Amino acid sequence: MTTIQILGTGCRKCAALKENAETAVKQANLQADVEKIEDINEIVKFGVMSTPALAIDGQVKFVGKIPSPEEIIQVLPQ
């Protein structure tokens, strides 16, 4: 199963990114866990210095922006 990680400290943008990720999973008909990582030490382990960020299975795909569900679908595993 795919794991999508939303990296951010809990701001409004992070919440919007999580919502877009959940929408993308539904639209792609994919089984995935969407988890939020708010611990700054964990976020730094990803090499992320700007939030929000989105990682899929531990690989960072977007940093410092809120991609649309369509953009997220493009980077999801098939």
Chain position carrying tokens 């008909």? 29
Q: What is the pLDDT of residues 24-55, one digit of tens each?
A: 999 999 999 999 999 999 999 999 999 999 99
Domains of the chain, earliest start first: 2-75 (3.40.30.10)
Structure tokens, 35: 């988890």
User: How much is the pLDDT for 48?
Assistant: 94
Q: Is 30 a catalytic residue?
A: no
| CB neighbours of residue 50 within 10 Å | 11
Pure H helices in 1-78: 12-27, 40-45, 69-75
User: 10 pLDDT band (50/70/90 cuts)?
Assistant: confident
Q: Return d(Cα 27, Cα 8) in angstroms, integer.
A: 24
Q: Is 1 helix (H, G, I), strand (E, B) or coil?
A: coil
pLDDT more than 70, % of the chain? 100
**Is 64 an annotated catalytic residue?**
no
Catalytic, out of 4, 7, 14, 24:
14
